[in-house]
Chain A
């Protein structure tokens, strides 16, 4: 009996819950069609301390469209996990969300993300560079409005390195201590990519082409990395040791992204320098390092009940004014081409460094599913060099093994 009473109680609770959620959907309808839009963004975009970017933009959007009576529902979801979450359950996900372009594939597979076409596509294409757009185009369909680029670059101490030094990693190593995330596979391929190794064809979209991280050129890089690791002025940046070194002065340059900008500024003060990636000297030749790059974009859910409004809002959140506000409140580097020509943004070193890296010293991080197999082997290579199991003697063999693992489907 008691059990039945408990289950009855639970059922009653559930029913009342349903009723409550059902009721909250109805807003007041003072003017026009009532619309409920759920928007996801990282928590900083919604926090009071950093100016409530999302709320400000959404309210401006509502003011600009008096014909709709919009109720906004805000959810917290960082760009990196948004793609996966939307793909997992599009039905219960936001109408408009911000995502990192490397999570495009799962959403495409789940048919959860809207393709932009017609006037919207023209509008997006007219305000963004082709390289940026390429990160969001798959099979000729455009899947979002880019609002920032996402890559890593170099922070350095201006009192140690001159403008000339920072062009070459080897010149820097002679003058000061450089720290690099050697055991992180988002960073380490930069050296391999610099010496002609490729991932999935020219544009990184050809899954059939596979990975070319083997061959003589890759072995040369492995040998270079073994020497680099033993350089007394080189430090492996792992678990935040680079930043800690920058604070106490034992490190003079490190590689990271815009998320560490404030911490680096605090550590270096006026001596902070930001630059695109340097070259490295391999057998007497200068080779350019290439970072993986991507973008963060605003996407629209195919399951949205208010498609027109959702698309309009996404365009609004990605427009020049919203990007400027984003930059002013949170130093999010804009990518709108008109905005990048404005003086105060052009003169910002961080913006220049990130955009230079994106345009000149990076490749677009491949979006194909096979890419998932490419992380662990490279990380293991870095770790192998660190712990001394990869040596000049077995470099060739180990490099071939890495290449094989990257091309295989196994775990």
Chain B
């Protein structure tokens, strides 16, 4: 009797697990499908934007080679370097802004604290590109819409608003007990020392998160780059370059290169994440006892 019951229970579990896993597998395939397709297309030897088969008939590396050698019409290496430079600079600036603002709002008490948080909340409700044209004209008035200054302009645009998106980091800082700060003050730490020597080392996961998000937004942004770069093709970012590859004049000969470019832009993000993910595990472990 008992044996039979056991068997049916484990059988039931087995059936349940099977159903769950089949559903998960199907979902996983659906989710990964477009990415696999882009990667396959980037190695496709047949030209053109449309093919009648899912798997390429033959494979080649030429699409990647062409991206880096055929630079007279669309200079991909230059766009790549432009974007990398802009993304790294604005990543550093934006990360600093976000963490500094979050720390202040979490640890300091001042009159404008509440009004500032309310204002940030309301401003955050509006889409950023609403102010696009205004931002363009301000930058133009400052003479920053021509030549290499465009890079500076873009860095300012991407990092300037960072101080408004403090919510997540502030929430994390709030979870670090005030007692830690007080102990540090008793030992003679300044606010800056608390921030750099205590708060930051304790909040590695959120630092990693901030770095990743503030790297990705300039890396992937299209709309601001398009409005600010206009006719300065030597300042184009990869998002503009990839978009241009899909215009009707280029799409037929550049489509597979577009896929190759799409694969390539994911590499810096993936590398940054792989490098930083080990800090995800650390964080609070061992910081506060009891």
- Contact assessment for A17 and B249 in the assembled complex, using a CB-CB cutoff below 8 Å: no
Cα A343 to Cα B147 with chains together (Å): 44
Chain B residues within 8 Å of chain A by Cβ, number? 35
Residues of A within 8 A of B144 (CB): 14, 17
Cα A92 to Cα B233 with chains together (Å): 15
Interface residues of A in 85-119 (CB under 8 A from B): 85, 88-89, 91-94
Interface residues of B in 122-167 (CB under 8 A from A): 133, 136-137, 140, 142-147, 149, 152, 156
**Nearest chain A residue, comparing its CB with the CB of B160:** A10
- Contact assessment for B73 and A92 in the assembled complex, using a CB-CB cutoff below 8 Å: no
> Is B193 in contact with chain A by the CB < 8 A criterion?
no
Using A47-B73, A49-B72, A92-B145 as known contacts, say yes or no to A244 and B50 having CB atoms under 8 A apart. Answer: yes
Contact of B146 among A21, A85, A263 (CB under 8 A): A21
Interface residues of A in 239-253 (CB under 8 A from B): 239-241, 243-244, 247-248, 250
Using A21-B149, A85-B230 as known contacts, say yes or no to A44 and B73 having CB atoms under 8 A apart. Answer: yes
**Nearest chain B residue, comparing its CB with the CB of A246:** B48
**Nearest chain A residue, comparing its CB with the CB of B229:** A76
Contact of B149 among A17, A240, A243 (CB under 8 A): A17
- Contact assessment for A247 and B152 in the assembled complex, using a CB-CB cutoff below 8 Å: no
Report, as a range, how many residues of chain A touch the other chain: 35 or more
- Contact assessment for B142 and A17 in the assembled complex, using a CB-CB cutoff below 8 Å: yes
- Contact assessment for A18 and B145 in the assembled complex, using a CB-CB cutoff below 8 Å: no
Residues of A within 8 A of B49 (CB): 239-240, 243-244
Contact of B136 among A42, A44, A89, A239 (CB under 8 A): A89
Residues of A within 8 A of B152 (CB): 13, 17
Contact of B143 among A21, A49, A76 (CB under 8 A): A21
Stretch among B18-26, B28-36, B251-259 lining the A interface:
B251-259
> Is A138 in contact with chain B by the CB < 8 A criterion?
no
Residues of B within 8 A of A40 (CB): 231
> Is B8 in contact with chain A by the CB < 8 A criterion?
no
Contact of A76 among B48, B140, B147, B231 (CB under 8 A): B231
Residues of B within 8 A of A21 (CB): 143, 146-147, 149
> Is A43 in contact with chain B by the CB < 8 A criterion?
yes
Interface residues of B in 237-290 (CB under 8 A from A): 247-249, 251-253, 255
CB-CB contacts of A161-204 with B at 8 A, as 1s and 0s? 00000000000000000000000000000000000000000000
- Contact assessment for A78 and B143 in the assembled complex, using a CB-CB cutoff below 8 Å: no
- Contact assessment for A43 and B252 in the assembled complex, using a CB-CB cutoff below 8 Å: no
- With both chains docked as a complex, state the minimum distance between the C-beta of B41 and any C-beta of chain A, in angstroms: 13
Cα A43 to Cα B253 with chains together (Å): 15
Contact of A244 among B48, B140, B247, B253 (CB under 8 A): B48
Cα A78 to Cα B230 with chains together (Å): 11
- With both chains docked as a complex, state the minimum distance between the C-beta of B220 and any C-beta of chain A, in angstroms: 21
- Contact assessment for A78 and B247 in the assembled complex, using a CB-CB cutoff below 8 Å: yes
- Contact assessment for A240 and B231 in the assembled complex, using a CB-CB cutoff below 8 Å: no
Cα A279 to Cα B156 with chains together (Å): 57
- With both chains docked as a complex, state the minimum distance between the C-beta of A395 and any C-beta of chain B, in angstroms: 29
- With both chains docked as a complex, state the minimum distance between the C-beta of A262 and any C-beta of chain B, in angstroms: 8
> Is B51 in contact with chain A by the CB < 8 A criterion?
yes
Residues of A within 8 A of B175 (CB): none
- Contact assessment for A48 and B50 in the assembled complex, using a CB-CB cutoff below 8 Å: no
- With both chains docked as a complex, state the minimum distance between the C-beta of A66 and any C-beta of chain B, in angstroms: 28
Contact of A43 among B74, B143, B156, B255 (CB under 8 A): B74
Contact of A47 among B72, B136, B251 (CB under 8 A): B72
Residues of A within 8 A of B50 (CB): 239-241, 243-244
- With both chains docked as a complex, state the minimum distance between the C-beta of A90 and any C-beta of chain B, in angstroms: 12
Cα A248 to Cα B47 with chains together (Å): 11
Using A75-B230, A77-B231 as known contacts, say yes or no to A240 and B74 having CB atoms under 8 A apart. Answer: no
Contact of B72 among A18, A48, A91, A259 (CB under 8 A): A48
Residues of A within 8 A of B47 (CB): 247, 263
> Is B232 in contact with chain A by the CB < 8 A criterion?
yes
- Contact assessment for B231 and A244 in the assembled complex, using a CB-CB cutoff below 8 Å: no
CB-CB contacts of A392-405 with B at 8 A, as 1s and 0s? 00000000000000
Residues of A within 8 A of B140 (CB): 89, 91-92
- Contact assessment for A248 and B231 in the assembled complex, using a CB-CB cutoff below 8 Å: no
Cα A75 to Cα B146 with chains together (Å): 10
Contact of A77 among B142, B146, B230 (CB under 8 A): B230
Interface residues of A in 44-79 (CB under 8 A from B): 44, 47-50, 75-78
Residues of B within 8 A of A125 (CB): none
Query: Residues of A at under 8 Å CB distance from B?
Result: 10, 13-14, 17-18, 20-22, 24, 40, 42-44, 47-50, 75-78, 85, 88-89, 91-94, 239-241, 243-244, 247-248, 250, 259-260, 262-263
9 contacts between A and B (CB under 8 A): A14-B143, A18-B143, A20-B147, A21-B149, A43-B233, A78-B247, A85-B231, A240-B251, A243-B49
Apart from A17-B142, A43-B73, what are 15 other A-B pairs with CB-CB below 8 Å? Answer: A21-B146, A21-B149, A40-B231, A43-B72, A44-B73, A47-B72, A49-B70, A75-B231, A76-B232, A77-B230, A91-B140, A240-B48, A243-B50, A244-B49, A247-B46
